[in-house]
Amino acid sequence: MEKVLTARIGKKDSRSIDTYLADGGYTGVKRVLTSGMTPEQVIEEVKKANVRGRGGAGFSAGVKWGFLPKDTKGKPIYLFCNADESEPGTFKDRLLMENDPHQLIEGMILASYAIRCRNAYIYIRGEFYDGARILERAIGEAYAKGYLGEKILGSRFSLDITVHRGAGAYICGEETGLIESIEGKRGQPRIKPPFPAVSGAFAAPTIVNNVETLCCVKHVIDRGAEWFLKIGRNEKNAGPKLFCISGHVNRPGVYEAAMGLPLKDLIFGAEYAQGMKGGKKIKAVIPGGASAPMLTAAEIDDCPLDFDGVAAKGSMLGSAAIVVINEDACIVDVAKNLSKFFSHESCGQCTPCREGTPWLYKVLTRIEAGQGRMEDIDLLARICNQMANGMTICVFADAAIAPPLSSVTKFRAEYEHHVTQKRCLVGARAAELVTV
């Protein structure tokens, strides 16, 4: 596939507005603002392209924009670009922001025009210090060239974009947690309804979209919905997509491909991760970031990497962060490691999540340390089952149970071995333990 989102990445000075303009950047903005294309027409085009949200949930951006109230009762409409990118294994938005910031800015201008937003914000994770500086510089360039600010390109449309740095909380990536954080409050998700499109930041209608989603918008407007829909396995799962692959592969990194790229191709393809490091076998693959249930080696055959393809395997594409785990890794250790993350990042407001995530971590720690009991294995599954499916305000808890629940279900023998033998059932690590 021709590179779209990453086409300019790697080119000299790809961050600067001059190279961006030279590569045909901002023509979409020019065309929309000078051709008399209405905001509704922009929304319609994005709806038609079925740009499914790249932040994790895969919800159609155009449809979401359509939820905005027709009459906002004098309230402004906000666009928040979700650049919190904290899902373990995910590092695609960073690449886009640090290397081609104008692509995102253009996407945001078009989206803002479509939803009639006057003030847009980029909520960027605090650790992305460079990204924030790069974005700010690029925003400055865009103001200087008249693509931002009052009456853009002489039109009646004005827009300001502000970069807001987070303070290091995964939960601020959840859209209502993000909104609370921008309001200056403790970052914790809100109960829904009302949904942000109806009542979001400062009780005003608010659209939250992921960085990559907004970048896609730029290309949909440049090249049309028809073009976008042709990329990928089917029209429900279309468009260019960034995949972040990490773990025990030869060439981890971010790869752009059409939606629906077979998972095996991503792991073994010559243009992608080029196979397993040291020729080891795959034990498990996490297909969509830490929140996605693990797949076994058998399940990765015939798994198209798109929203419906991964869902059909009982997991999710999520943020398209593919973590490949080889036979030498202890699955209990993997689950424990991920549980530590979730127990650290729960915002703590819902009882099941606040209490359940550390409990899971403690039990996993115990099993991993050889102090587990057989009952612990079922206990893990039971704790998981009583945390999810409506038990909490946001789906963090549903995410947090993915690693322990999927691993306990799919790799139960490893857990049992850990309990009875008090050590891991794996190659290198087990061998080490045996020789001691």
Partner 1 sequence: MSSTPVAPPPSAPPPAPPPKDTFTVSFDGKAIEVPKNLNLIDAAKLAGVDIPHFCYHPRLSVVGQCRMCLVEIEGMPKIQAACTVPLKDGLSVKTTTDKVKNARAATMEFLLINHPLDCPICDQAGECTLQDNSFGYGNQLSRFDEAKRQYPTFDRTMIGPHVVADMTRCIQCTRCIRFTHEIAGTSELTFLDRGGRTLVWTHEGQPLANDWSGCAADVCPVGALTTREFRFRSRVWYLQKTPSVCPGCNVGCNISIESRDDVVYRFLPRLNPTVNDYWLCDYGRFLSEPLNDRDVHKATVREGSAVREATVPAAVDRIAREIRSSLEGKGPGAVFFLGSAHLSNEENFLLRKIADHVGSPNRDAIVDKSRPRKVKSKTVWVEGDDAGANHQGAKDMGLSPGAGGHGLDAVIAGKASPEVILIADAAFSAIADDPEKVAALRRARFLAVAARNANALTRAADVVLPAASLAEKEGTFTNVQGRVQKFDRAFLPKPPIRAAWEHLLLLALALGFGDRSWTPHDLLRQIAAEVPDYAGIKEEELEGGRLLKKGDFAWAGRP
Ligand X SMILES: Cc1cc2nc3c(=O)[nH]c(=O)nc-3n(C[C@H](O)[C@H](O)[C@H](O)COP(=O)(O)O)c2cc1C
Least distance to ligand SF4, CB of residue 290, Å: 13
Shorter beta-carbon distance to ligand X: residue 173 or 288: 173
Give the separation between CA 201 and CA 206, rounded to whole angstroms.
Answer: 6
Interface mask toward ligand X for 129-168; x: CB under 6 A? ----------------------------------------
Residue list 156-175, contact with partner 1 (CB under 8 A): 169, 171
Per-residue contact track with partner 1, 185 to 224, x per CB under 8 A? -x----x-x-------------------------------
Looking only at Cα atoms, what is the longest distance across the chain?
75
Residue 135 corresponds to which amino acid? L
The residue among 293, 280, 289, 323 whose CA lies nearest residue 410 is 293
Instruction: Give the residue among 214, 287, 218 at the shortest CA–CA distance from 24.
Output: 218
Does residue number 306 form part of the binding site for ligand X (CB under 6 A)? Answer: no
Q: Which of 7, 327, 359, 423 binds partner 1 (CB under 8 A)?
A: 359
| Residue with smaller CB distance to partner 1, 124 or 380 | 380
Select from 7, 9, 21, 57 the one that contacts ligand X (CB under 6 A). 57
Residue type, 243: F
- Per-residue CA distances from 245 to 49, 88, 281, 291, 302 (Å): 26, 11, 16, 15, 18
With contact defined as beta carbons under 8 Å apart, do 265 and 12 qualify? no
| DSSP codes joined into one string, 194-230 | SPTTTS-GGGS-EEEEEHHHHHHHHHHHHH-HHHHHT
Choose among 30, 20, 58: nearest CA to 213. 58
The CB-of-88 to ligand X minimum distance in angstroms stands at: 11
By CB under 8 A, which span of 97-105, 113-121, 250-258, 339-347 interacts with partner 1? 339-347
Interface with partner 1 includes 298 (CB under 8 A)? no
Q: Are 278 and 272 a contacting pair, CB within 8 Å?
A: no
| Among 275, 314, 358, 427, interactor with partner 1 by CB under 8 A | 358
The contact set with partner 1 (CB under 8 A) reads: 169, 171, 186, 191, 193, 343-352, 354-359, 362-363, 366, 379, 382, 386-387, 389-393
For ligand X, the binding residues (CB under 6 A) are 53-57, 59, 61, 82, 84-87, 170-171, 173-175, 208-210, 213, 394-396, 399
